[in-house]
A and B are shown apart, each in its own frame.
Chain A
């Protein structure tokens, strides 16, 4: 049974520049219930003449954090994202409802190595719900074998890059694989193309290990990853997808 969600107000306590185009909003939401990693909130903006626009944003913070984090990538001709990245100020309030979702969620359970290997595939700002999962996994001391394949346009546009480096440096059971699709640093030795079947064959857990896959990002990205994982032998019920629309939210 689900509680009927109500629109509530939260307060912006910090705005953090993650990459040139992406910012994280750190929100104080006193009545906010604990969420599950992977869930999202609906954000609603209302103009003075009553006009409203609504979008969904994944919660990037892990369950149990004091504040809620949403990470927003500015879409140039977007209606909502430019307001969230450039219109909001610390102290402003934001109307939202949630947490929402029971399909695209992951629970670290009891920590340790309990649970199937996790394969996470992120496209651009699609990293947000997967970061909630990775942070949740870390906070629970989970050692479930986890691989993140993360596609970004360039090194500068890898959201949470330093935190991902730090988490994986201290945890051999967490492996981060980046692919940079448009620009690469001169000394780059990693992947430099869009995710394709060959890259997934090389990086994803073998189906025999009964892995659980989560993929999130632009619609075309998610559909490509899901199709290839199914072709590689992943059970369709173990490939969870969340589409962000044309350019990732």
Chain B
């Protein structure tokens, strides 16, 4: 196979990681101080008076909150590292939102143990799938502030899912709710070759990894 031609002097965007932070960067990733915008579609512009968040599915309960009600839920602020499958990682990102545990509190999951998966659905049609176990126990939030300011639409505002222990495509932008199901169903990227689970520490980028 022919050797790849190297463009003399081309460096691309900064990809060197400070040694002191290296153990926080999963394999194959580099640290960025920027916040790249990756979108699979146009930025939705749902007016806040029409926004709501729903939880439904193969469960007996149906929950829904309008924006004001959602804002009234107990809120948390947390600092987490995020890792994108396109190889950039951003450390110490600050978010404010509602824990998924709070949102699921109104669903009696213990009484419905066959329901083990969640499909997050979003304005614009994006979906991603997660095991319920990965969004409970303080591992996930629906956030509406980044860095102390309302979440910018290009980064998923008014609200996005945040699941920092998995690749960032699982932190679905413009999230509008969860469908709770008994059988896993691959979402937007999972259905075209990306890993179904997406653990950055095991480098689970693509199906079969």
By beta carbon, the residue of chain A nearest B11 is A47
Q: Please, what's the 1-or-0 string for A32-53, where 1 marks a CB less than 8 Å from any CB in chain B?
A: 0000000000000111111101
Nearest CB on A from B2, distance (A): 10
Give the complex CA separation of A48 and B11 in angstroms. Answer: 8
A94/B4 in contact, CB under 8 A? no
Q: Check A87 for interface membership: any CB of B closer than 8 A.
A: yes
Contacts of A92 in B (CB 8 A): 8
29 contacts between A and B (CB under 8 A): A9-B5, A45-B7, A45-B10, A45-B12, A46-B4, A46-B5, A46-B6, A46-B7, A46-B10, A47-B6, A47-B7, A47-B10, A47-B11, A47-B12, A48-B6, A49-B15, A50-B4, A51-B12, A51-B15, A53-B10, A79-B12, A79-B13, A83-B9, A87-B9, A87-B10, A92-B8, A93-B5, A94-B7, A95-B7
Nearest CB on B from A53, distance (A): 6
Identify which of B4, B6, B7 gathers the most chain A CB atoms within 10 Å of its CB. Answer: B7
Give the complex CA separation of A95 and B5 in angstroms. Answer: 7
Chain A, interface size category, equals: 10 to 19
B→A interface (CB under 8 Å): 4-13, 15
By beta carbon, the residue of chain A nearest B13 is A79
Contacts of A48 in B (CB 8 A): 6
B12/A53 in contact, CB under 8 A? yes
A83/B5 in contact, CB under 8 A? no
Contacts of A45 in B (CB 8 A): 7, 10, 12
Contacts of A51 in B (CB 8 A): 12, 15
A→B interface (CB under 8 Å): 9, 45-51, 53, 79, 83, 87, 92-95
Contacts of B13 in A (CB 8 A): 79
By beta carbon, the residue of chain B nearest A91 is B8
By beta carbon, the residue of chain B nearest A92 is B8
A83/B4 in contact, CB under 8 A? no
Contacts of A87 in B (CB 8 A): 9-10
Contacts of A9 in B (CB 8 A): 5
Give the complex CA separation of A53 and B7 in angstroms. Answer: 11
By beta carbon, the residue of chain A nearest B8 is A92
Given A47-B12, A79-B12, A94-B7, 14 more contacts at CB 8 Å?
Answer: A45-B12, A46-B6, A46-B10, A47-B6, A47-B10, A49-B15, A50-B4, A51-B12, A79-B13, A83-B7, A83-B10, A87-B9, A93-B5, A95-B7
Contacts of B10 in A (CB 8 A): 45-47, 53, 83, 87
By beta carbon, the residue of chain B nearest A49 is B15
Give the complex CA separation of A95 and B8 in angstroms. Answer: 11
Give the complex CA separation of A49 and B30 in angstroms. Answer: 13
By beta carbon, the residue of chain A nearest B4 is A46
Contacts of B5 in A (CB 8 A): 9, 46, 93, 95
Nearest CB on B from A202, distance (A): 32
Give the complex CA separation of A93 and B12 in angstroms. Answer: 17
By beta carbon, the residue of chain A nearest B15 is A51
Contacts of B6 in A (CB 8 A): 46-48
Identify which of A9, A50, A87 gathers the most chain B CB atoms within 10 Å of its CB. Answer: A87
Contacts of A95 in B (CB 8 A): 5, 7
By beta carbon, the residue of chain A nearest B87 is A51
Nearest CB on A from B194, distance (A): 19
Nearest CB on A from B86, distance (A): 11
Closest 5 CB pairs of A and B: A45-B7, A45-B10, A51-B12, A87-B9, A47-B12
Nearest CB on B from A149, distance (A): 27
By beta carbon, the residue of chain B nearest A8 is B5
Give the complex CA separation of A16 and B28 in angstroms. Answer: 39
Contacts of A49 in B (CB 8 A): 15
Nearest CB on B from A31, distance (A): 15
Nearest CB on B from A55, distance (A): 12
Contacts of A79 in B (CB 8 A): 12-13
Contacts of A50 in B (CB 8 A): 4
Give the complex CA separation of A94 and B10 in angstroms. Answer: 11
Nearest CB on A from B7, distance (A): 4
Give the complex CA separation of A50 and B15 in angstroms. Answer: 12
Contacts of A93 in B (CB 8 A): 5
